[in-house]
Structure 1
Amino acid sequence: MIIDLFAGPGGWDVGATRLGLDVTGIELDHAACETRRAAGLGTVEGDVRDYGPSDFPDATDAIGSPPCQPFSVGGKGRGRAALDTVLDLTQMLASRQSITLALKGFDDERTGLVLEPLRWALEAVDAGRPYRTVMLEQVSTVLPVWEAFAPILRAEGYSVATGRLSAEEYGVPQTRVRAFLVACLNGEARLPQPTHHRYRKGVTEVQEVFGLQPWVSMADAIGWGMTARPALTIAVGTAAGGPDPSCVGGSGARATLYGERDAGRWINCQRMVDADELPAYRGGRHDTIRLSVQDAAVLQTFPPGHPWQGSRTKQFEQIGNAVPCLLAEHVIATAFGIPIPQSATAAAA
């Protein structure tokens, strides 16, 4: 069994179950837990800090995506400002010192949560039941933390790989870049090799060469929107309500959307929307372009009909915070030495 720390609505878990693996996720957010339960995913509703490996003795592997808000460039940056302290605390964990008091010094308590996967991994080692694999994901700015974890895990016998992966290189119709760590107790840890071309601005015609498929456009995935590029990163939300198909930062991403629309590299949305949803598209130069819940979920490669629970805002929050299912599937499959099902890559294309 895999234990998923900070499991959210199931981005990692959907990828794992597609590979025939058993996962149990720990998640604090009630709406995300309700989504998980409705999807049939093993769920423990609670705080990761209140648990440890001894509470899940059947878990053989660990995955996790700690909250990204403190480290996101779209947030207040408290995690990034405290990065040196976080790195110092990794060394305290490595020497088995308590960091409880130090964690209370963070302005945003979520900052210290990035250290929880290392605590779990080391406690599992000390208990004589080390995890076979540890797989972690976070926003790009957390890569230095994963790189600090690497020598600590290597000292415990793991092979470790770290790096940034761009989601569209794995068939996800979205240019989402995230930092990953993969640690393997047996065999060489590797990050997955791309299956699709990386999107490059201004390059609209991509041939299937060197064994790589063309990236998947936003319009190919959801039937409307940009035809000459993938969607931008699905953000958690904006003050205007709901996420944009955009990179964190808002205005520049919206300019990209409108620029592509005005240039004719665009398909209008023809579908009907529910009465409680904002229109995905309305004609006019200055009208707002927004996604439906289902559109956002598809761009994150969740399966059609994934049973989102909670308010509309909470559903968007869950989707924006999740790791794309298909990207997670590639990472897990590579770590486990499992071939990616052909149906998964074909569906993405």
Structure 2
Amino acid sequence: MPPAVATAVHVATLARKAGRPIPPKVYAVLEAAANPWPAEWLLAPLPGDPIRVVELFAGPGGWSEGIATVLGVVVDSVGVDLSKDACATARAAGHRRICVDITTLDPEHIALRYVRGLIISPPCPSFSPAGKHTGQEQANILTLCRVLAQCSEAGGFLPGNELDDWCEGCDVCDELGYHDGYAPRSGLSWDDLRAQLAPLTDARIGLMAEVLFWGFGLQAAGAPLEFIAMEQSARLPEQILDDIRLELRGGQGEGEWAATTYKILEASEFGLASRRERVFFLATRRYVSLPTPSPEITKTTMAQALGWGEGERINTRGVRPIDPKTGRPKGGNEFSADQPSNCLTGKARTWKRVSDGLRLTIQEGGLLVGFLPSYIWEGSRTSVFQQEADVVPPIMAAAVLSEVLGVPWKPRVRDYTDQLYRMNDFLDPDADDFDTVA
């Protein structure tokens, strides 16, 4: 740390402990050194301060709302996302955002040395059915996994005893410290590893490696990281999940993250009024289980969520040719609202209620993915529906993080969904809340 910054940290810390404001000139030094992170993150937390959390690919606020609104937990969180509209949506709800490509940031930034939680939701089109399935191609998987396998050593967290199976106490390894705790850092930077991802046919596949770049990078910065939570398409190949898990566990289960687990969860089983199947991954210092559906949580249909009567149907794809064998439109372009809705995609902006032709509104889309009617969505209709399609539902964020944050999720989710789906008086079915260009 440069001497001027160290002095500013010292003065600011004394001011905080005395309950006084940080002098403006001192704060300016901190702000410049911490950029783009909060200036206060250069200072050690004081007793009673909330834990610091970094959210990557943070979007419009699903994880943030799950923590703050559903669980009611106060954390000192900063999210990073490339979408200006998603960042604007999150900021309107009071969540801090840095609008930038996360691959341009340094996981070992000095301002991150007190971070205790990492949340990351890499883009999923490369793996999901809605994409081109490039993430399922074996050549891409092997390229990604070769990089994943180098991450613990790049960060300095490769257990030295991994080499014991083929090398027992030779002089060279003993001198280098390979048989005493962790092997020395390999010398590869996170940007060096990112460069190795260049052969991928879809650059978004390589963003999965950021889970380990930031997990090990934060630790290398000195961060007392306690948990890593990740969400991704349910179609994410198990080879990738297992390799991430293997690297965190140190191969023989003796690494920094001996307790790692993942599970596919379906959101409508947790009370959401739309289907959304995703894989959630959780790494912790102690064993923590991922949630399972509970009979205490009432399932909600689309019609119930939106205050509609029974018997309504949704048209998702306009007029389709009729199949002569079934007498029904080809392509499955309708579904009943008397069940949880289909999973929202960006194309949900074209959904119409069959009985009257009214299009699904932005506010209704937000309700279906678990956001209160008061949530302010920023951007065009097309942009907002894409945000709603990509977001982690707050109730799922709450359920996944409940154990690591020490708050039971079932009563909180039950209360939240009761409130969420009984606020239909706030909905204006005649509101024209979208652009004329879909």
Normalising by structure 1, report the TM-score. Answer: 0.77
Q: Do structure 1's residue 303 and structure 2's residue 372 form an aligned pair?
A: yes
Q: CA deviation at 1:238?
A: 8.1
User: Aligned AA for 1:72?
Assistant: S
CA distance in 1, matches of 2:317, 2:406: 39
Secondary structure of the 2:211 match is helix
Q: CA deviation at 1:31?
A: 0.7
Q: CA deviation at 1:290?
A: 4.3
User: Partner residue of 1:134?
Assistant: 228
Q: CA deviation at 1:344?
A: 3.2
Q: Do structure 1's residue 222 and structure 2's residue 306 form an aligned pair?
A: yes
Q: Do structure 1's residue 88 and structure 2's residue 146 form an aligned pair?
A: yes
Residue 331 of structure 1 is aligned with which of 400, 406, 418?
A: 400
CA distance in 2, matches of 1:303, 1:280: 21
Q: Contact 2:318–2:333 at 8 Å: present in 1 too?
A: no
Provide closer, same or farther for how the CA distance between residues 38 and 84 of structure 1 changes in structure 2, counting only shifts above 3 A.
same
TM-superposition CA deviations, 1:113-152 (whole Å, max 9, x none): 1111211001122233241000000001225222221121
User: Aligned AA for 2:408?
Assistant: P
Q: Do structure 1's residue 44 and structure 2's residue 98 form an aligned pair?
A: yes
- Equivalent runs, 1:100-139 vs 2, <5 Å: 100-139=194-233
User: Aligned AA for 1:174?
Assistant: S
Q: Do structure 1's residue 293 and structure 2's residue 362 form an aligned pair?
A: yes
- Equivalent runs, 1:240-259 vs 2, <5 Å: 252=331, 254-255=333-334, 257=335
Secondary structure of the 2:333 match is helix
Secondary structure of the 2:396 match is helix
CA distance in 1, matches of 2:130, 2:264: 18
Residue 5 of structure 1 is aligned with which of 32, 56, 73?
A: 56
CA distance in 1, matches of 2:53, 2:310: 37
- The size of the alignment, in residue pairs, is 299
User: Aligned AA for 2:392?
Assistant: V
User: Partner residue of 2:78?
Assistant: 24
- TM-align CA RMSD: 2.9
| Further displaced range: 74-83 or 175-184 | 74-83
CA distance in 1, matches of 2:407, 2:400: 10
Provide closer, same or farther for how the CA distance between residues 296 and 94 of structure 1 changes in structure 2, counting only shifts above 3 A.
same
User: Partner residue of 2:384?
Assistant: 315
TM-superposition CA deviations, 1:8-54 (whole Å, max 9, x none): 00111110112323221001111111111111101111111122142
Q: Contact 2:312–2:354 at 8 Å: present in 1 too?
A: no
Q: CA deviation at 1:213?
A: 3.6
CA distance in 2, matches of 1:295, 1:223: 10
User: Aligned AA for 2:119?
Assistant: I
Q: CA deviation at 1:184?
A: 0.7
Secondary structure of the 1:296 match is helix
Give unmatched runs, 5+ long, in structure 1: 196-210, 232-236, 241-250, 267-276
Provide closer, same or farther for how the CA distance between residues 63 and 108 of structure 1 changes in structure 2, counting only shifts above 3 A.
same
User: Partner residue of 1:152?
Assistant: 247
Give unmatched runs, 5+ long, in structure 2: 1-51, 155-187, 320-329, 340-348, 419-438
User: Partner residue of 1:204?
Assistant: none
User: Aligned AA for 2:245?
Assistant: A
CA distance in 2, matches of 1:63, 1:44: 15
Q: Contact 2:112–2:218 at 8 Å: present in 1 too?
A: no
CA distance in 1, matches of 2:291, 2:150: 31
- Equivalent runs, 1:162-241 vs 2, <5 Å: 162-185=262-285, 187-195=286-294, 211-224=295-308
User: Aligned AA for 2:83?
Assistant: D
Q: Contact 1:137–1:178 at 8 Å: present in 2 too?
A: yes
Provide closer, same or farther for how the CA distance between residues 8 and 226 of structure 1 changes in structure 2, counting only shifts above 3 A.
farther
Provide closer, same or farther for how the CA distance between residues 101 and 216 of structure 1 changes in structure 2, counting only shifts above 3 A.
same
Secondary structure of the 1:224 match is coil
**Highest RCO, 1 vs 2 (Cα 8 Å, sep ≥ 6):** 1
Larger Rg: 2
Percent of pairs identical after alignment?
28
User: Aligned AA for 2:213?
Assistant: R
CA distance in 2, matches of 1:228, 1:94: 53
Provide closer, same or farther for how the CA distance between residues 94 and 221 of structure 1 changes in structure 2, counting only shifts above 3 A.
same
